[in-house]
């Protein structure tokens, strides 16, 4: 995987905030609520469309993805968190730290409109 793939025109660095779940249980006993951006934990990352190969790989393990985010440094969010950029919400399906050196983190996310 090359860094050039992620740095195409239009794929510039964007600020994302980790979403904190607010709310509780509704009248039927289901967990409900929404996410609120924690502006103390910004992530400056590059957002790119997931390749067909990445989509197929994640579909096989029942975790569909639509995009990948590449961030410098160690992971600042984990699987199950939500990353927010403006009015867009991305549910994290997986986190990969290539080489385990803390240089880069790849977030595999699904864009959601229901969060």
The pLDDT tens digits for 81-102 are: 899 888 889 999 999 988 888 8
Q: Which CATH architecture has domain 3-112?
A: Beta Barrel (2.40)
Give the chain's length. 115
- pLDDT tens sequence across 12-23: 788 899 887 776
Q: pLDDT: is 4 or 40 the higher one?
A: 40
Cα-based distances in Å from 45 to 7, 15, 26, 61, 88: 11, 7, 35, 25, 14
Task: Give the predicted TM-score (pTM) of the model.
Answer: 0.79
Hey, which residues does 47 pair with through a beta bridge?
Answer: 69
Residue spans of the domains in the chain: they are: 3-112
Would the pLDDT of 109 be above 90? yes
* H-state helical runs in 19-109: 52-60
Q: Which of 19-33, 37-51, 58-72 has the highest mean pLDDT?
A: 58-72
Q: Examine the pLDDT at 78 and tell me if it is beyond 60.
A: yes
């Amino acid at each position: 995987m090359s860094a050039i793939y992620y740095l195409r025109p239009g794929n510039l660095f964007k600020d994302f905030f980790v979403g904190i779940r607010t709310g509780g249980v509704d009248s039927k006993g289901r967990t409900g609520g929404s996410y609120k951006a924690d502006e103390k934990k910004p992530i400056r990352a590059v957002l790119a469309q997931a390749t067909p190969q990445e989509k197929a790989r994640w579909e096989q393990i029942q975790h569909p993805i639509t995009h990948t985010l590449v961030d410098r440094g160690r992971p600042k969010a984990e699987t199950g968190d939500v990353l927010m950029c403006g009015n867009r919400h991305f549910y994290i399906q997986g986190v990969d730290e290539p080489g385990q050196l803390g240089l880069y983190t790849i977030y595999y996310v699904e864009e959601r409109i229901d969060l």
